[in-house]
Structure 1
């Protein structure tokens, strides 16, 4: 059985960013009202920068929100490759400056991502899953999170019955070693968004839906949670 895909298409990127920011904020606000707190997992890259800036301006009780990452390059936060740095520069501002942020990079194990997995996984588990909202992106090679084609731990990361919370990943297209939530943890969310832009990404997603062997297909083939696809040219 495949996931239910709910498609949201917009005329341009600013309109998409504004609508997605408002929708995510609404989900977090609902979670705070229902449970007194909210959790959000976000992805890095250049695509979400505009959306992060708009999300930061949404007027909710950010002091009750914890933000973490779907995946991270194993680099310190002073690196321009750091997703944590991206979040700090674009999201943890304005109204959202009071949100808590849980990074995936562990400086105590800066030279060995595998040595950090147990501690980082325990911190994520302590948030109390499911996430209230989780936002994925997609690369031109069909990867999402750090599920890279040819990744050394790709099969384990995509195992629907896997018990690990986070896993390391090394792949030719990844650059640095990575740490990533596993597929079961990505899917352990009340709302799952896929934010993509450009005709090439739309075409690639269609290929994955049709059966092409891209890592994003693992998200499309599951039936646990609907996928809210936000796209603009």
Structure 2
């Protein structure tokens, strides 16, 4: 992937930050998140952030967990989660509990999407009620991206994609055909109701996917394109 190719394709409102190592990225992004949340608490008395799961952000979670912040005034939720109990390895809520809500960060309020005893579809309304406790504008959303161009659980293969893109509800149940497990995702509207959006990427393959996403604008094929139309900062490392 020619680095200059992506640079020429990026719209002015999208900023790409490249780091030589994942450790450098983690340090810089953790510092930025810390400053943003602290400033939000100082200015508005509270802060709210939506995070993504998976392996890539685990070092970030661990770094943040050890960072002194006004955590008792911070609300954390997920951009999406697999519909699994938190003791399952693929549960994003479980990752948050084990890697972020520790040490300094254990005082934060965590609003989980997962609810036992219901399918994701059955839990949509209850999940929306939980999310209503968050401020109208999230201070930050940290997204990831799959090589099919999905972000959060806005999967191009899912029959519920259009609903998740258009609904006025803050969340939507989604069942992808290209990945395991039913999901609950924040809706496009709720993800965009945020002061800042960050895309956290690792690996050359993600640069290739980003390049492909920038070549066209069909959101149904690559949902990440919706967020490339908005102000966005991309943090990338090999």
TM-score clears 0.5 = yes
Q: Confirm or deny that 1:116 pairs with 2:116.
A: no
Q: Confirm or deny that 1:156 pairs with 2:159.
A: no
Q: Confirm or deny that 1:90 pairs with 2:99.
A: yes
The alpha carbon displacement at 1:31 in A equals: 0.5
Which has the higher mean CA deviation after the structures are superposed, 123-132 or 28-37? 123-132
2:234 alignment partner, SS class:
strand
Q: Confirm or deny that 1:107 pairs with 2:116.
A: yes
The alpha carbon displacement at 1:38 in A equals: 0.7
Match of 2:209 among 190, 198, 204: 204
- Partner in structure 2 of residue 220 of structure 1: 228
- Partner in structure 2 of residue 53 of structure 1: 62
| Residues in 1 aligned to 2:67 and 2:98: alpha-carbon distance in whole angstroms | 16
Aligned residue pairs, count: 225
1:115 alignment partner, SS class:
coil
| Residues in 2 aligned to 1:203 and 1:85: alpha-carbon distance in whole angstroms | 30
- Partner in structure 2 of residue 139 of structure 1: 146
Q: How does 1:122-133 map to 2 (within 5 A)?
A: 122-133=129-140
Q: Confirm or deny that 1:22 pairs with 2:41.
A: no
Match of 1:44 among 34, 50, 53: 53
- Partner in structure 1 of residue 8 of structure 2: none
| Residues in 2 aligned to 1:200 and 1:81: alpha-carbon distance in whole angstroms | 22
Indicate conservation of the 8 Å contact 1:158/1:218, yes or no.
no
- Partner in structure 2 of residue 65 of structure 1: 74
- What per-residue deviation string (whole Å, max 9, x for no partner) do you get for residues 61-91 of structure 1? 1111111111011111111110000011111
Structure 2 gaps of 5+ residues are 1-10
- Partner in structure 1 of residue 6 of structure 2: none
Runs (4+) off by over 4 Å: none
Indicate conservation of the 8 Å contact 1:3/1:220, yes or no.
no
- Partner in structure 2 of residue 76 of structure 1: 85
| Residues in 1 aligned to 2:203 and 2:169: alpha-carbon distance in whole angstroms | 33
